[in-house]
Amino acid sequence: MISEAIKINLEKWGFDSYFKDLADKNQESGLIPARVIGHNRHFYDIVCEKGFFSAKTSGSIRYNSVLKSDLPAVGDWVMVSIRRDKSYICSILPRKSRISRRCSGNIVNEQILSANVDIVFIVMSLDANFNLKRLQRYISVVSSSGIKHVILLTKSDVCENTDELFEEVRKIAGDKEVFAVSSFDQNTEKLLKTFVKPGITAVFIGSSGVGKSTLINTISGSNIRVTGEISTAVNKGRHTTSARELILLDSGGMVIDTPGMREIQNWQEEDSKGFEIIEELSHKCRFFDCRHDTEPDCAVKEAVGNGIISAELLEMWRKQLAESEELKRKKAFSLKILETKKSKRNKSRDVS
C-alpha cells in the first residue's frame, strides 16, 4: 500500500491510553506503533502515524512463534520498523481482547479471528442458513472471549415467519441482545450505530452469505464492501469476503469483516460458556458436579421436562462438554510437540 503524505491520527484507529502506555513500555529505537488492518498470504496491511504500508513480520517473530496466535492478527497493535520502502513488524503489543477458534488438523492450534475488538455481531440469516446448533457454537466461542456480543438475524424482509424464528433464538440466547434486521430498513443503520461509536472496534462473524458485508455497507452508508451474489442452487455466497480487513467508518467507529466460516470450534475450555441458563439451573441440582444425565434430583433435566429449556439445548451442552474435555488433552499433547520442535530448532541454531 502507498504511504500517505499527511500524518495519521491513530486515536481514530483505536489507539487509546491502554495501547499508548504499552507502546511507551515497548519502545525501542526506531520503532513506532501501528495497527494491523489487513492480512493476506505474504503481507500485513498496517496504519501508523506516517501513513499506510504493507509490512512483513521480522525474523525474530517468525522464529519464536510456536502457535499461530504468536503471529499478528487483524486488529493487533504492533511496533514496526519503517525504512525507506520496507516495513517490518517487530513485536506485538499485549492484546486487550481476542476471538479465537481451534484450527482444524491433528495438531491443536489457535487461530485468532480478530484482536482488540470491543463488540462482536454474530450474524445469522432467516433463510436456509438458519441453524440453531451453528448459532450456539458461535455464541459459545464469543462468550469464551468475554467480549460483548449481539445477535443479528438478517433478511427479515424476506422471511415469512420471523417472529417464530426470533423466539427460537431467544430461547438459546440467554441474556444476549437479539435483533431481527434488514438492510432495506433505515432503522438497521441507526441500530448498528448505537453500538459502533467513535473509537469502538466491532467485528461481524457468521457463515458465508448471511449478509455481513451488506450490514457493513449499511452502517457505512456506502458500498465499501462488494457484496456477493448468492447462488440459489447451493445458497452460498460467491465473491464474498475472502480475507479479514479492518475498516474505518466516516462515523468514527471501526468494523472488521471476516470470511464466512463453515465450522467453528471453541479454543477455550470453558464448557459452560454460552449455556448460562444451564449453569444457573445446575446450582439447584443435588450434586455440585452433576452432569445432568442419570443423576437424581437434577434441576436441569427437570427444566427440560417442564419445557423451560429444550432437550436440544441440553444435548448441545453435553456435546460441548465432551469436546472441552477432549480439547484439554489434545492441547497438552500438541503443546509438547510444538515446544519440542522449537527446542530442536534452538539447538540447531546454537550448533551452527
pLDDT in tens, 39-53: 987 899 999 999 999
How do strand 119-125 and strand 148-154 relate by DSSP bridges?
Answer: parallel
The predicted model gives 175-198 an average pLDDT of 92
Judge whether residue 341 has pLDDT over 70.
Answer: no
The pLDDT of residue 336 is above 60: yes
Superfamily name with CATH number, domain 98-257 = P-loop containing nucleotide triphosphate hydrolases (3.40.50.300)
3-state SS, residue 145 = helix
15 touches 75 (CB < 8 A): no
**Alpha-carbon span 160 to 254, nearest angstrom:** 33
Q: Helix, strand, or coil here: 298?
A: coil
pLDDT at position 113, please?
A: 87
pLDDT digits 0-9 by tens, 124-159:
999 988 988 889 888 888 888 889 999 999 999 889
Cell of 55: 509490512
CB atoms near residue 22 (< 10 Å): 17
Q: Is the pLDDT of residue 174 over 80?
A: no
| pLDDT at site 313 | 84
What residues are paired with 247 via a beta bridge?
255
Confidence of residue 349 (pLDDT cuts 50, 70, 90): low
Mean pLDDT of 77-96: 92
Percent of the chain, pLDDT > 70?
Answer: 80
Higher pLDDT, residue 108 or 77: 77
Three-class SS state of 179: strand
Cell reading at 209 = 452469505
Predicted local distance difference test score (pLDDT) of residue 272: 58
Q: By the 8 A CB rule, do 321 and 271 touch?
A: yes
Q: Residues 287, 290, 295, 298: is their CA dihedral positive or negative?
A: positive
Q: Which residue ranges does the chain devote to CATH 1.10.40.50?
A: 276-351
What is the model's pLDDT at position 347?
Answer: 62
CATH topology (fold) of 276-351: Ribonucleotide Reductase Protein R1; domain 1 (1.10.40)
Q: What is the mean pLDDT of the chain?
A: 82
Answer with the residue of higher pLDDT: 234 or 190: 190
Q: Taking 60 as the threshold, does the pLDDT of residue 276 lie above it?
A: yes
> Where do you find CATH 2.40.50.140 in the chain?
10-92
Placement of cell 517468525 in the chain:
62
All CATH 3.40.50.300 domain ranges in the chain, comma separated: 98-257
What is the reported pLDDT for 239?
A: 35
Residue 23 or 171, more confident: 23
pLDDT at 222 over 60: yes
Mean pLDDT, residues 166-178: 87
Give the tens place of pLDDT for each residue, 278-322: 888 888 999 988 888 888 999 999 998 888 888 888 888 888 777
CATH 2.40.50.140, applies to 10-92: yes
pLDDT tens digits for 107-124?
A: 677 788 899 999 999 999
CA distance 149 to 76: 19
Q: Which residues contact 223 (CB under 8 A, 6 or more apart)?
A: 217
* DSSP helix/strand/coil, 171: helix
How many percent of the chain have pLDDT more than 90?
A: 39
